[in-house]
Amino acid sequence: MSEREDAFWGGITAILILGAFKLAWFLMRAIWWLGVLLVLSLGAGIGALVKRGQEPDITAGSGQYSEDHQLWQDEASGQRYPCSPVDREYCQIQASQQGFYWRKTALARLIRRGALVRYKFSAIAESSNGAAPEVVAMREFPQEAKRNITLDHVDPARASSDPFDLGVSRDLAKDALEDMKCLLTKKGWTQLQDPEATREHWYAYRYDRPVILWDKPMGEAPPVAGITAA
């Protein structure tokens, strides 16, 4: 066999060995992350059974106003409450990081994507009497973890000049924010038209509604003719 043939078959052998190593590495990664997914799925299932019935109902407090906005009727109980004709209360949306979606992260790593961070939008009601702030609505949503990227980078105003390929993350945040708006509207809150420049973060919308006098219930009644927003 000539030197040229030796070199040719030596190159083929090296390529096959390199390919075998790459295939073995891919299979090891796949087995590892599938194993992690299996373990996390079992843990999540057990955790869900333990937590079932313990998490608060995020739709609790839904209802509607009478046409003159002087009464609020709770959707679940039918209980009616008077509303203040002059006083209003306010809430604002805040965001917080809650850890990771481990099962989704395991799947994402299989396709070489980043870990999925668990974020939460919370509508925090401002207290006028010194009481602790109250969370009146919340919504969790995922975001792909990227170095030095925060929720401020998925601002829809940045979509036309986005160098980080954040389209999917931006859509997930926008959908969660829209869900928050629906939840708050069902609870009588109206979004204020604050200029974006006055908000600390693009998602930090403020809402208000007439103060509902919860300590003066008026009894149950058939649903009142009204609207669902203040």
| CA 106 – CA 167 distance, rounded (Å) | 21
Q: Mutual orientation of helices 102-110 and 3-51 as an angle, nearest 10°? A: 170
Mean pLDDT, range 11-29, rounded to an integer:
69
Element (H, E) at 86: strand 80-100
Number of H helices, E strands in the chain: 3, 8
Give pTM, 2 decimals.
Answer: 0.72
Q: Which of 27-31, 114-118, 147-151, 198-202 has the weakest average pLDDT? A: 27-31
Q: Token digits for 60?
A: 């609790």
222 vs 85, more confident = 85
Q: What pLDDT is stored for residue 206 in this prediction?
A: 95
pLDDT at 229 over 50: no
**Concatenated DSSP letters for 106-160?**
HHHHHTTPPPEEEEEEEEEEPPSSSPPPEEEEEEEEEEE--TT--GGGG-GGGGG
Domain residue extents for the chain: 1-55, 63-227
**What's the pLDDT band for 76 if we cut at 50, 70, 90?**
confident
pLDDT of residue 220: 66
Query: Which candidate, 206, 210, 190, places its Cα nearest to that of 198?
Result: 206
Residue-wise pLDDT tens digits, 112-151: 778 899 999 999 998 666 667 899 999 999 999 988 999 9
Average pLDDT over residues 20-27: 69
- Give the chain's length: 230
User: What pLDDT, on a 0 to 100 scale, did the predictor assign at position 48?
Assistant: 44
What does the pLDDT read at residue 1?
A: 55
Read off the DSSP letter of residue 186: H
Question: 12-21, 101-110, 202-211: which has the highest mean pLDDT?
Answer: 202-211
Query: CA-to-CA distance for 212 and 129, rounded, in angstroms?
Result: 14
